[in-house]
Amino acid sequence: MTDTLFSPGHLGEISIANRLVMAPLTRNRAPDRVPTDLMVDYYRQRAHAGLIVTEGAQISPVAQGYAWTPGIHSEEQAEGWAKVTQAVHDAGGKIVIQLWHVGRVSHPSVIDGATPVAPSALSAAAKTFDGTDFVETAMPREMSADDIERTFLDYAHAAQLAKQAGFDGVELHAANGYLIDQFLRDTSNTRTDDWGGSIANRCRFLLGAIDALIGVWGPGRVGVRLSPYSNANNVGIDSHTRELFGHAIGQLNDRPLAFVHMVEGQTGGPRDWPEGELEMLRALVAAPYIANNGYSREMALDAVSSGAATAVAFGKAFIANPDLPARLERDAPLNPPKAELFYGGGAEGYTDYPTLG
């Protein structure tokens, strides 16, 4: 039988009730960096997604880029997340945590006075929120070999805490101009050692992080998010994007991944890329493919039924519609999202959207 958007399936070892994925969505509702009871309600409400990918959770104190985002590097944070996973599982859902290191997209005021780190000492020339105002991101320092190895240990530690918290797996955030994306691209990585220069060298950090996570979780429980044609956070478009990400995907194919989650085009923006290139990269992916960015109901139905994607991720639609799978299956109207309430605040614009009936 042909798969449909509403049929059960598998993402690696993770069984899913439908092919609708809740995309990772930064909401800035953790003022102490620890998941709150309000976050428990938020994720419980959306447990009918085939899979929830949580908002990015920083893997260490220096990995944070924005105020009020939750982490996964302390026992207290793991205990907070355990309440989230229990609520989602009790409601019949599946949930993985997105592991996040922002690299240079940060400011000392967010990371307890530390200097942000990056593959190279190049500014992101972007903005971040420090809890009071939007501020220019700081000039980072170039990571040493010891910094890199320590970061792999941070990924493994976060993965272990995620397992302890009861998640069904983890997603490595390698997209949107954050640390791993910064290592991948020649626009942000000007190193001349083993972590820069050639495409193979620039892919080493991504693969080291993936291997650290698989070392904790084993096969079929680790996914990765990529955004080949996105200039998010001013990361720049690599000089040889097709070759770079073709090589990265080829190396990822040698690992037992749960899924590859691809931002198609500009993150949250136009679905633009050189003709045929993203399609070529998608065809190279051996793991289950999660399509992301600007999908309508009709596009999602077609992507799954045609076999172009195993599942489709929705972001803003899940913010405003906790019962999105039911609405899409019935082709019911969708609540419009309240963009002014996306970041920070309390229950308003977070857990108060109406459901059908």
DSSP-assigned states of every residue in 142-165: EPPHHHHHHHHHHHHHHHHHHHHT
Q: Dihedral sign for Cα 207, 178, 53, 157, please.
A: positive
In angstroms, the Cα distances linking 56 to 158, 163, 305, 349 are 12, 16, 30, 19
Q: Considering the chain, what percentage of its residues have pLDDT values greater than 90?
A: 98
Over residues 71-88, the pLDDT tens digits come to: 999 999 999 999 999 999
pTM equals: 0.98
- Does position 70 have pLDDT exceeding 70, yes or no? yes
Over residues 202-243, the pLDDT tens digits come to: 999 999 999 999 999 999 999 999 999 999 999 999 999 999
Dihedral, CA atoms, 126, 264, 101, 115, nearest 10 degrees? Answer: -20
Task: Name the one residue in this structure whose structure tokens are 């997340």.
Answer: 81
Mean pLDDT over the full length of the chain? 97
Cβ–Cβ < 8 Å for 350, 41: no
The residue from 66, 178, 289, 295 that is catalytic is 178
pLDDT given at position 165: 99
Tokens standing for residue 354? 């109406």
Over residues 264-317, the pLDDT tens digits come to: 999 999 999 999 999 999 999 999 999 999 999 999 999 999 999 999 999 999
Over residues 155-184, the pLDDT tens digits come to: 999 999 999 999 999 999 999 999 999 999
pLDDT given at position 1: 58
Cβ–Cβ < 8 Å for 230, 176: yes
Cβ–Cβ < 8 Å for 207, 251: yes
Alpha helix ranges (H) inside the chain: 37-45, 75-90, 145-164, 179-184, 199-202, 204-217, 241-252, 277-284, 297-305, 316-320, 324-330
Q: Is 178 an active-site residue?
A: yes
- Helices 37-45 and 75-90, interaxial angle, to 10°? 30
Other Cβ atoms less than 10 A from the Cβ of 202: the count is 24
Per-residue confidence band for 357, with pLDDT thresholds at 50, 70 and 90: confident
Cβ–Cβ < 8 Å for 137, 124: yes
Which stretch of DSSP H or E encloses residue 182?
Answer: helix 179-184
Tokens standing for residue 344? 């920070």
Tokens standing for residue 202? 């620039």
* Secondary structure of residue 187 in the 3-state scheme: coil
Tokens standing for residue 78? 């793991």
Which stretch of DSSP H or E encloses residue 201?
Answer: helix 199-202
